[in-house]
Structure 1
Amino acid sequence: MATIKDVAKLAEVSTATVSRVLNENGYVHEETKNRVAKAIKQLNYKPNDVARSLFKGRSKMIALFIPDIMNPFFPELARAVEDMTKNHDFTFILCNTDDDIEKETAYIDALQQKSVDGLIIVSSTLTPEQLHHIQIPVVALDRKLNNGIASVTVNNREGSRQAVQYLKSLGCKKIAHVAGPEHVDNANERRRGYLDEVQNEDWFRLSLVEHGEYHYDAAKQATINLLKRHPDIDGLFVGNDLMAVGALKAAESLGINVPSDLSMIAFDGITLGETTSPSLTTMAQPIYQIGAKAAEMLIKQIEEEDTLTQSEEFSVQLIKRESTRRDEA
């Protein structure tokens, strides 16, 4: 493997000159630059990124923390972050945390030691004290961390209200909710949106809410519990698309037809929802746009140190598919 000394020898310059060319630091005559570039290409020389990061104070690396790589929402989100970082010549690192605080803090410590330039974090477990010890730029994605950290989210509460309103417009008389984890910010916002629309209805009971923990199996069991406890449920709002797949299986296991007996609407808009039978009506997030926006905001923080903390909230969109009864409009 070629070294910087080999490049300097072939280009007939000093190693310091090669270093200045590589790091774009200090004046080097154009003809000399061309000789160095030619030598680098001829020798297929690969600069030591660690050394360059020490010299420049940057590693050109960005990490994305996600809580569950098995949830199709997060790979779709990661693709957008990766594309944006690649467009800006950053290396992308994906960290699956399982929403485990020990894994998250271990990743943070290791990445800071390796001089990673910034973090995009999807987390519901990091405390303000732990966030305070992060010494590099951070952007919260999908759910907020605290007011001092930039964030990119969607209008979870209003989007959920719109989902329930749509079920009502189809004639649903008793609407239940399969919610995400109680400790997750966006799950609570979606549950609040549901409650905004139903808590004053004569038929409403708290037993119409079950937690599916953002997981297929838990959501399947939660739906079975709801439908057995309240056989007259004719509308179901599910807190994300992955849980809705479990809810569809639950209805099937009980001999309940979707959408004839039960109209079901979910939240997220992942590609999986197009492939289920029936396909999922959902409140679709602009997944690619929010991932790309988070990366864009982080890169701006990295490159412009005085960037003000900002938050972006995108709107969700109703996508009508086969899991809800056909409306008359």
Structure 2
Amino acid sequence: MATIRDVSKLAGCSVATVSRVINRKGYVHKNTEEAIKSAMKALNYSPDRIARSLAGKGSLTVGLVIPDILNPFFPQLARAIEDVASDNGYNVILCNTSNDPAKERKCLDVLISKRVDGILLASSTILPEQILELQRSAIPVVLIDHQFPEIPILSIVARNREGGAIAVRHLLEEGCRKIGHIRGPLHVAASLDRCLGYEDECGSEPWFIPSLIAQGDFHSEGGFRAMQELISRHPDIDGVFAGNDQMAIGALHALYKLGIEVPQQVKLIGFDGIASNRTVPQLSTVSQPIYTMGSQAMEYLLRLIAGETLPQQVHEFEVQLVIKETTKAEGRMAVQ
């Protein structure tokens, strides 16, 4: 069985340096850290977790709180987080709240009782005072896909408002002259920002009226109902921006049931980048870098756990327009 001395010998450094990497304490040059991790992997070396815990090095677990495991966005996010956690010797406790604040409070209580080393919150129902309480308890926290501008908290988000504007500009460039929007839940910051992006592009148009915005719920069923509502109100719309891909899938189904051809009669675009190849016709979307956001969030959490001081600020990630069949005819598709 390999020992820490074997790792230090293969990596070409001291035992103390290997120990600093294992326990994430103290500075180690990035190249040296990578050499140590490579040596650990090559030797199949795993530190004694129980011994580390007894030595006060923490539980080697982190909590991940998500609102909806059925939304494909969150399994992709969780996969990235788990990959980085595993590479660094950590386990992830996944908590699904089903958008229920009471269940969320219970999840946080469980995570605290299990003495997790940190918590990743991909929650739309978390309250500011709950985050402040976690901070007062010295529990490192990183927010994902949510932010509170009034509270200094390290947060990971996509450029949602910009992405909403990109989606609408694409519809306008494709000739749409009356565009509806299926908005996500009112309490979700990302939903609000995407709607604001829609309004940035459409609000000054002579055809714009507030009833062109229909309320959805980030699920396909809500997208189906909202699309039916939009067509009932405005049968002359020729473009629709859905606030996420799940609602766009529901909207596409509704248009099919109504006998409306996509993209010939109505062009449709979503947001997230999780379903572009799962629909017929294939869905145009604004893609956010879900895996990168998850892995970066976990990296930040590990640095906080190690005692590093990081700026408590919002980190925004670029989004990308992915053009498929629901806005363009086959043969003219592209990624921009």
Q: 1:249 to 1:140 in 2, by over 3 A?
A: same
Residue 52 of structure 1, CA deviation: 4.6
Match of 2:250 in 1: 246
The aligned amino acid for 1:142 is D
Alignment of 1:191-210 (within 5 A): 191-210=195-214
- Is the contact made by 2:60 and 2:117 (CA closer than 8 Å) also made in structure 1? yes
Residue 133 of structure 1, CA deviation: 1.5
- Is the contact made by 1:178 and 1:237 (CA closer than 8 Å) also made in structure 2? yes
Q: 1:152 to 1:288 in 2, by over 3 A?
A: same
- Is the contact made by 2:323 and 2:333 (CA closer than 8 Å) also made in structure 1? no
* Aligned-partner SS, 2:214: strand
Is 1:269 the equivalent of 2:305?
no
The whole-number CA distance in structure 2 between the counterparts of 1:263 and 1:291 is 31
Match of 1:7 in 2: none
The whole-number CA distance in structure 1 between the counterparts of 2:234 and 2:296 is 42
Match of 1:227 in 2: 231
The aligned amino acid for 2:69 is I
The whole-number CA distance in structure 2 between the counterparts of 1:319 and 1:47 is 46
- Is the contact made by 1:267 and 1:282 (CA closer than 8 Å) also made in structure 2? yes
Whose radius of gyration is greater, 1 or 2?
1
- Is the contact made by 2:272 and 2:287 (CA closer than 8 Å) also made in structure 1? yes
Q: Once the two structures are superposed, what CA deviation does each residue of 1:35-65 show, in whole Å capped at 9, x if it has no partner?
A: xxxxxxxxxxx9674x752431410101111
The whole-number CA distance in structure 1 between the counterparts of 2:118 and 2:228 is 43
The aligned amino acid for 2:125 is T
Match of 2:75 in 1: 75
Q: Once the two structures are superposed, what CA deviation does each residue of 1:44-100 show, in whole Å capped at 9, x if it has no partner?
A: xx9674x75243141010111111000111101110000011111101111111121
Q: 1:47 to 1:84 in 2, by over 3 A?
A: closer
Q: 1:48 to 1:162 in 2, by over 3 A?
A: closer
Alignment of 1:178-193 (within 5 A): 178-193=182-197
Q: 1:305 to 1:48 in 2, by over 3 A?
A: closer
Q: Once the two structures are superposed, what CA deviation does each residue of 1:176-211 show, in whole Å capped at 9, x if it has no partner?
A: 000100111000000000001111111111110011
Match of 1:119 in 2: 119
- Is the contact made by 2:325 and 2:333 (CA closer than 8 Å) also made in structure 1? no
- Is the contact made by 2:217 and 2:223 (CA closer than 8 Å) also made in structure 1? yes
- Is the contact made by 2:324 and 2:333 (CA closer than 8 Å) also made in structure 1? no
Match of 2:296 in 1: 293
Q: Once the two structures are superposed, what CA deviation does each residue of 1:132-170 show, in whole Å capped at 9, x if it has no partner?
A: 221200000011145311011111001110110010001
Residue 308 of structure 1, CA deviation: 3.1
How many residue pairs align between the two structures?
286
Match of 1:322 in 2: 325
The aligned amino acid for 1:159 is G
Is 1:302 the equivalent of 2:327?
no
Structure 2: runs of 5+ lacking an equivalent: 1-21, 24-46
* Aligned-partner SS, 1:273: coil
TM-score between the two structures when normalised by the length of structure 2? 0.81
TM-score between the two structures when normalised by the length of structure 1? 0.82
Q: 1:48 to 1:306 in 2, by over 3 A?
A: closer
- Is the contact made by 1:62 and 1:93 (CA closer than 8 Å) also made in structure 2? yes
The whole-number CA distance in structure 2 between the counterparts of 1:125 and 1:328 is 37
The aligned amino acid for 1:245 is I
- Aligned-pair identity in percent equals 45
* Aligned-partner SS, 1:133: helix
The whole-number CA distance in structure 1 between the counterparts of 2:119 and 2:272 is 23
- Is the contact made by 2:147 and 2:314 (CA closer than 8 Å) also made in structure 1? no
* Aligned-partner SS, 1:223: helix
**2:165 corresponds to which of 139, 161, 178:** 161
The whole-number CA distance in structure 2 between the counterparts of 1:65 and 1:328 is 37
- Is the contact made by 1:163 and 1:283 (CA closer than 8 Å) also made in structure 2? yes
* Aligned-partner SS, 2:171: helix
Structure 1: runs of 5+ lacking an equivalent: 1-22, 25-45
